[in-house]
Amino acid sequence: MKMIKLIIPFILIFALALPTYAMHLTEDKVIDRELTVEKDENVVDNSINGVSKERPSKTFIMSLPVYLKRAVLPFLMLFSLGPICLALECGIKEHKRKSHSQ
Amino acid sequence: MKAYKPKTSNSSIALRYALMSLCLSSVCHAVIFDHLSDKISYDRRSMLIILFNIVSVGMMSLFSVFAEKVENKHTGVRLSALLTVLGYYLPTDFGIDLKVVLLGLGSACFYAFASSSILSRSQGKSREIGLLLGGSGIGIACASFAGFAGHFFAPLLMIFAIPSDKYENAPENGTKTVFYEQKTAEKVPFLHLSLLFLPLAYLFLSYEFSSFHFTWNVYFKTQFQLLLMMGLGRAIGGFISDLIGRVTTVAASAFGGTLLIFFCSDDKRLSLLGLFLLSMSLAPTVTAFTRLMPKHPAFSFAIMSASSYLGQTLSLFIGFKDISMLLVSASLIMIVISAEMPFLTGSEKTEVYENEDD
């Protein structure tokens, strides 16, 4: 339990730092140029979840690194916290079991 | 192992969480749609939506680990409601980023604890998780239709978070903790392939849902109809799956929906029917994956949400829109569900027992 208590603050710091990292990413240039979409009050821009699909056409190969950098890597960093915790818990349990048996 | 059935119905808990899911989803998306629609540039808005998804789905993994250890899961749900409402009412002067992060944390906490509670009781049934997914979809539809929906749903969310006496007597919160675990994961043929392909299929499916481009979808009204049909499809898919079987539901919905969208994408009614049918495959797919990891139901739900997130964002960055990928995703789902066929039809033995470790 001591080990978990020691690790939890670091995990929380990591979890709070990550959105900051993502926020910095938002300041960067994500795509080459901005689209100026003229909006009518009753017309939507063919979007799902509020994001328009009218993007500059890019090839798959060109877009993939941007996709990995902006969306996948920070997500995987955050998502990996769960498995890390599970692994730590299992390790601690096993260590306890071993020390108890000895 | 002693068979045990709870005295209270799980349906009431599932319904409460479905309504909470509707409120929470509506509140989160109302903020995103309302505040970020005109004041912020297009790219900034896209990245904030991605930030919300990163926090909400990424943190779900961590919260799911805690949720599986906690006995009273409604505590986590209450915390999530608090975080969400805090995020909603936080003045924009503090920064939209902080607002979005708080909303994301609330969403992550809610889905981790709610899915853990629902899936640990569902015994392989899809209707409860279907209701949760459907509530989320309908919430997005409400938020897309009316930006002020959040003002209505935020107090409602807090009301639902207050537990009733009936709820407090539910098995997970009482003196006797009951979990349902099926020791059937090892009996599934091609388990590793299923573990790999099912999230992959979900990713493709989510990508397709995000990149549909219908010529008739130009008004807010049609956008609302589209999202509403997707939400209703998710909710009803779970019930139909329990009635006629998971394999039949997925087969009918995946192929029927694919064909309708593939050949009749110009016709509004048929496209909506196709979307409805296709959405019906989500709840059985999530349940199928949960049964592959019966000891970690919340974590398996987090993995499926991660697949959904990756598919959704893929469509934002990569302008490669090919509706034929729908056939790939439908085929993948069918292959994996078919791999489970012997397990589902023949040798399935549901072992319900009391978990004495907890």
Q: Supply the ipTM of this predicted assembly.
A: 0.75
Q: Name every residue whose Cβ is closer than 8 Å to that of residue A89 and which is 6 or more positions away in sequence.
A: A4, B65
Spatial separation of the C-alpha atoms in residues B297 and B121, rounded to whole Å: 10
Tell me, yes or no, whether B211 and B256 share the same domain: yes
Mark whether B134 and B58 lie in a shared domain. Answer: yes
Min Cα–Cα distance to chain A from B155, Å: 23
Integer angstrom CA distances of residue B187 from A40, B283, B304, B355: 56, 22, 21, 21
Point out the residues of chain A with pLDDT beneath 70.
1-65
pLDDT of res. B12: 80
Q: Which one of A10, A25, A75, A86 would you mutate to disrupt binding with B, by most B Cβ within 10 Å of its Cβ?
A: A75
Number of domains in chain B: 2
Q: Does residue B185 contact residue B294 with C-beta atoms inside 8 Å? A: yes
Same domain, B275 and B307: yes
Same domain, yes or no: B220 and B267: yes
Whether residue B55 is contained in a domain is answered as yes
- CB-CB under 8 Å, B318 with A64: yes
Report CA Rg, chain B. Answer: 20
| Pair B16, B81 in one domain | yes
When CB atoms are compared, the residue of B46, B220, B319 closest to A44 is B220
Residue A25 has a pLDDT of 57
pLDDT at A54: 47
What pLDDT shows up at residue A77?
A: 80
Q: What CA–CA distance (Å, rounded) separates B231 from B140?
A: 8
User: Are B82 and B162 part of one and the same domain?
Assistant: yes
B154 and B247 co-located in one domain: no
pLDDT value, residue A41: 47
pLDDT score, position B357? 42
In a domain, residue B353? The reply is no
Structural domain boundaries enclosing B75: 10-173
Q: Flag whether B2 is in a domain.
A: no
Residue B224, both tokens:
């609302």
Same-domain check for residues B26 and B160: yes
- Looking at residue B157, its pLDDT comes to 83
**Residues 6 or more apart from B353 whose CB is under 8 A from it?**
B1, B2, B3, B4, B181
Of B139, B173, B207, which marks where a domain is finished?
A: B173
What totals of helices (H) and strands (E) does chain B contain, helices first?
15, 0
Say if residue B218 is in the same domain as residue B316: yes
A74: chain B residues, CB-CB within 8 Å: 54, 58
Residue in B29, B64, B211 nearest the CB of A82 = B64
In this prediction, residue A29 carries a pLDDT of 47
Q: Of the residues B140, B173, B206, which one is the last residue of a structural domain?
A: B173
Scanning every residue of chain A, which has its alpha carbon at the shortest distance from the alpha carbon of B104?
A19
Find the CB nearest B43 among A18, A34, A63: A34
Amino acid letter, B349? K
Q: Considering Cα of B160, then B166, then B171, then B172, what sign does the dihedral take?
A: positive
* Chain B residues within an 8 Å CB radius of A13: none
Regarding whether B132 and B36 lie in a shared domain, the answer is: yes
Distance of CA B150 to the CA centre of its chain: 20
- What is the CATH classification number for the domain harbouring B115? 1.20.1250.20
Is residue B356 situated within a structural domain? no
> Which pLDDT belongs to residue B4?
45
Q: So what's the pLDDT on residue A31?
A: 43
Residue B241 lies in a domain: yes
Is residue B274 one of the residues assigned to a domain?
yes
Residue B184 contacts residue B348 (beta carbons within 8 Å) = yes
> pLDDT under 50 in chain B at which residues?
1-7, 168-184, 186, 344-358
Is B277 part of any domain? yes
* Residue in A14, A23, A54, A67 to test binding to B, most B beta-carbons within 10 Å: A23
Tell me whether residues A75 and B310 touch, CB distance under 8 A: yes
Contact criterion met (CB below 8 Å) for B329 and B307: no
Sign of CA dihedral B85, B90, B96, B98: negative
B219 plus B114 within the same structural domain = no
Write down which residue in B134, B153, B173 finishes a domain.
B173
Are B125 and B226 found together in one domain? no
> Does B42 reach chain A within 8 Å, measured CB to CB?
yes
